[in-house]
């Protein structure tokens, strides 16, 4: 495994971003309600993260923007951004072959300061209210660790938590998530479900939590994926209130429990779709303890390009790994930003057999169920260039034979076109006929080096 001595620790990540000129420092005091997210939105998509050094009501800074640029993320891994999907796929495949489980240690940076009982006050943390119609402050980048009540297997996930009081959160759990399965099992056993929420973790832990269940089944400890990225075993700290651990290098960790059947309104929240998730009764989370570093930094994300790049990257790697094993000729895959990083995959393939482009469409839907649309193009099309993909659709797609529709399929509940998680899906075969015909060959120009020529532009000779 390749070792990355930066990505496991958010403090080192901040130092690395600063040294590389990829950190914007906001020195003025900022209101966490609306202003913080409003400023962050002005930098969204740039190759720089934003650190808010003074947040009203708290002595803890806030970091955002870690995932909204793949160029920034690639720099942390010392690689080009276009190499990230295959690298992530390799890390997950390596974990599947030779898992390195986390190790539990008695103490870690996250336990430098601890508050329990009446000392617990979520309002001391700089938890932002992001969008104008959000139901309250939200923890949206914390990694949840929980255990299967029957088997004890650990699971990691990312959920959204709305602050409802000094020691109370309300959580949204998407259908089909392992955390929901564990809560159901706890209810059957008449038990509460303990969990920890780990805020300010590195990309390795974040990616482990975002790995699709198709690559990390319920009977595996997916936190080992973080070990693969780190090049060494992930360190966990034993829980103080339950047998559920905390990430040792996290900035902040909340020890919590959910009492099955206890519900309260959660939402609205500006989600990855660009719409507000509806307010509805959802599980109540009781915070038993807050642990943090002495020099903690709170991490939050904007539900836009950060999700497109982080979750989309995991989706791309999953599709690339699974579909390439089933369909010959798969070269690359991109989850588009216009598709919210969840809902539209574009596949690039070198055709070797007639009809396999449609096989690729069906295999891709199976590999990542949240998808609504799949477009397949030839290997002469740049799948990260929307105009090039549209060109293939405009000149190669046969609307009669090249469109595949799947009614009443399982999808992503946050997508408004999938009420109750069920809706129609569509695939576009925008590949050339096979065998290829001469009139479908793209026009090409000779590749030249401008340094070999004397060229004048705007009265300047180059």
For the chain, the three-class secondary structure string (H helix, E strand, C coil) is: CCCCCCCCCHHHHHHHHHHCCCEEEEEEEECCECHHHHHHHHHCCCCCEEEEEEECCCCCCEEECCCCCHHHHHHHCCCCHHHHHHHHHHHHHHHHHCCCCCEEECCCHHHCEEEEHHHCCHHHCCCCECCCCCCCCEECCCEEEEECCCCCCEEEEECEEEEEECCEEEEECCCCCHHHHHHHHHHHHCCCEEEEEEECCCHHHHHHHHCCCCCCCCCCCCCHHHHHHHCCCCEEECCCCCCCCEECCCCEEEEEEEEEEEEEEECCEECCCCCEECCEEEEEEEEEEEEECCCCCEECCCCCHHHHHHHHHHHHHHHHHHHHHHCCCEEEEEECCCCCCCCEEEEEECCCCCCHHHHHHHHHHHHCCCCCEEEEEECCCCCCCHHHHHHHHHHHCCCCCCEEEEEEEECCCCCCCCHHHEEEEEEEECCCCCCCCHHHCCCCCCCCCHHHCCCEECCEEC
Q: For residues 147 and 272, state if they share a domain.
A: yes
- For the chain, how many structural domains are there in total? 2
| Residue 2 maps to a domain | no
Per-residue model confidence (pLDDT) at position 338: 87
| Residue 460 maps to a domain | no
| Residue 9 maps to a domain | no
Q: Which token pair is 82?
A: 């276009």
Does residue 213 carry a pLDDT above 80? Answer: no
| Residue 313 maps to a domain | no
Per-residue model confidence (pLDDT) at position 3: 41
Q: For residues 229 and 348, state if they share a domain.
A: no
Domain boundary among the residues 292, 307, 337 is at 292
Q: For residues 275 and 356, state if they share a domain.
A: no
d(CA 87, CA 375): 23
Q: For residues 288 and 364, state if they share a domain.
A: no
Q: For residues 216 and 100, state if they share a domain.
A: yes
Does residue 342 carry a pLDDT above 70? Answer: yes
Does residue 81 carry a pLDDT above 90? Answer: no
Per-residue model confidence (pLDDT) at position 462: 53
113: domain CATH number? 2.30.110.10
What percentage of residues in the chain have a pLDDT greater than 90? Answer: 72
422: domain CATH number? 3.40.1670.10
Q: For residues 229 and 143, state if they share a domain.
A: yes
Q: For residues 275 and 390, state if they share a domain.
A: no
Q: Domain of residue 263: give its range.
A: 79-292
| Residue 181 maps to a domain | yes
Does residue 4 carry a pLDDT above 80? Answer: no
| Residue 305 maps to a domain | no
Question: What's the pLDDT tens digit per position in 405-439?
Answer: 999 999 888 888 888 889 999 999 999 998 888 87
Q: For residues 177 and 242, state if they share a domain.
A: yes
Q: What is the pTM of this model?
A: 0.87
Q: For residues 270 and 341, state if they share a domain.
A: no
What percentage of residues in the chain have a pLDDT greater than 70? Answer: 98
| Residue 130 maps to a domain | yes
Per-residue model confidence (pLDDT) at position 1: 36
138, 128 contact by CB (below 8 A): yes
Q: For residues 333 and 282, state if they share a domain.
A: no
Per-residue model confidence (pLDDT) at position 461: 56
212, 218 contact by CB (below 8 A): no
Domain boundary among the residues 241, 265, 292 is at 292
d(CA 215, CA 416): 26
| Residue 210 maps to a domain | yes
Q: For residues 354 and 223, state if they share a domain.
A: no
Q: For residues 284 and 358, state if they share a domain.
A: no
């Amino acid at each position: 495994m390749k070792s990355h001595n930066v990505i496991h620790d958010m403090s080192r990540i901040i130092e690395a971003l600063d040294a590389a000129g990829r950190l914007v420092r906001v020195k003025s005091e900022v209101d966490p309600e609306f202003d913080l997210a409003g400023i962050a939105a002005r930098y969204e998509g740039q190759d720089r993260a934003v650190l808010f050094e003074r947040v009203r009501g708290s002595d803890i800074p806030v970091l955002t923007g870690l995932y909204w640029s793949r160029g920034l993320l690639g720099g942390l891994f010392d690689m080009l951004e276009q190499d990230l999907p295959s690298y992530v796929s390799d890390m997950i495949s390596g974990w599947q072959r030779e898992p390195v489980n986390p190790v539990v240690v008695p103490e870690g940076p996250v336990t430098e300061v601890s508050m329990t009982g009446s000392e617990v006050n979520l309002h001391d943390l700089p938890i932002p209210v992001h969008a104008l119609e959000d139901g309250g402050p939200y923890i949206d980048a914390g990694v949840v660790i929980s255990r299967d009540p029957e088997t004890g297997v650990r699971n990691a996930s990312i959920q959204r938590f709305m602050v409802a009081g000094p020691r109370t959160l309300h959580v949204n759990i998407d259908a089909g998530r392992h955390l929901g399965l564990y809560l159901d099992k706890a209810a059957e056993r008449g038990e509460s479900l303990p969990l920890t929420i780990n805020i300010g973790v590195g990309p390795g832990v974040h990616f482990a939590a975002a790995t699709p269940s198709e690559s990390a089944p319920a009977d595996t400890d997916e936190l080992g994926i973080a070990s693969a990225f780190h090049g060494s075993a992930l360190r966990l700290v034993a829980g103080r209130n339950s047998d559920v651990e905390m990430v040792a290098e996290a900035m902040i960790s909340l020890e919590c429990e959910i009492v099955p059947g206890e519900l309260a309104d959660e939402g609205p929240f500006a989600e990855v779709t660009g719409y507000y998730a509806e307010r509805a009764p959802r599980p109540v989370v009781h915070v038993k303890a807050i642990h943090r570093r002495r020099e903690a930094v709170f991490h939050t994300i904007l539900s836009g390009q950060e999700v497109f790049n982080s979750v989309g990257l995991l989706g791309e790697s999953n599709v690339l790994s699974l579909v390439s094993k089933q369909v010959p000729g798969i070269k690359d895959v991109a989850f588009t930003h216009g598709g919210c990083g969840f809902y539209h995959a574009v596949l690039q393939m070198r055709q070797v057999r007639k009809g396999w482009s449609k096989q690729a469409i069906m295999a891709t839907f199976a590999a990542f169920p949240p998808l609504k649309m799949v477009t397949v193009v030839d290997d002469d099309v740049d799948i990260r260039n929307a105009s090039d993909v549209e060109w293939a659709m405009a000149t190669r797609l046969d609307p009669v034979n090249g469109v595949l529709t799947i009614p009443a399929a399982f999808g992503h509940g946050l997508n408004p076109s999938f009420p109750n998680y069920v809706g129609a899906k569509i695939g576009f075969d925008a590949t050339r006929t096979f065998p290829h015909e001469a009139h479908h060959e793209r026009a090409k120009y000779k590749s030249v080096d401008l340094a070999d020529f004397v060229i004048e532009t705007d009265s300047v000779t180059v």
